[in-house]
């Protein structure tokens, strides 16, 4: 069964895909962020230290 992700409500051209990360203790954080696949849109929503944030500019990490 193929996963279906929601449409981006900001641009209506991309879809929102989930991203995961690892916490300070090395445990997995599933779906820490959702980002739009349309590079011109840039919409994102994420959880940082238990708080929900969205719209921050995404930048490439040096890690």
For residue 24, tell me if it sits in a domain: yes
**7-50: per-residue pLDDT in tens?**
999 999 999 999 988 888 888 888 889 999 998 998 999 888 78
For residue 62, tell me if it sits in a domain: no
- Kindly tell me the burial class for residue 45, based on how many C-beta atoms sit within 10 Å of its own C-beta (0-12, 13-18, 19 or more): middle
The domain in which residue 42 lies consists of: 1-57
Q: Which helix (H) or strand (E) holds 47?
A: strand 44-48
For residue 15, tell me if it sits in a domain: yes
Note the pTM of the prediction, 2 decimals. 0.73
Total domains in the chain come to: 1
For residue 63, tell me if it sits in a domain: no
């Amino acid at each position: 069964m193929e996963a279906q992700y929601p449409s981006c409500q900001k641009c209506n051209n991309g879809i929102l895909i989930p991203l995961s990360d690892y916490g300070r203790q090395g445990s997995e954080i599933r779906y820490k962020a959702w980002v739009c696949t349309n590079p011109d849109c840039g919409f994102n929503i994420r959880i940082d230290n238990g708080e929900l944030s969205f719209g921050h500019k995404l930048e490439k990490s040096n890690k």
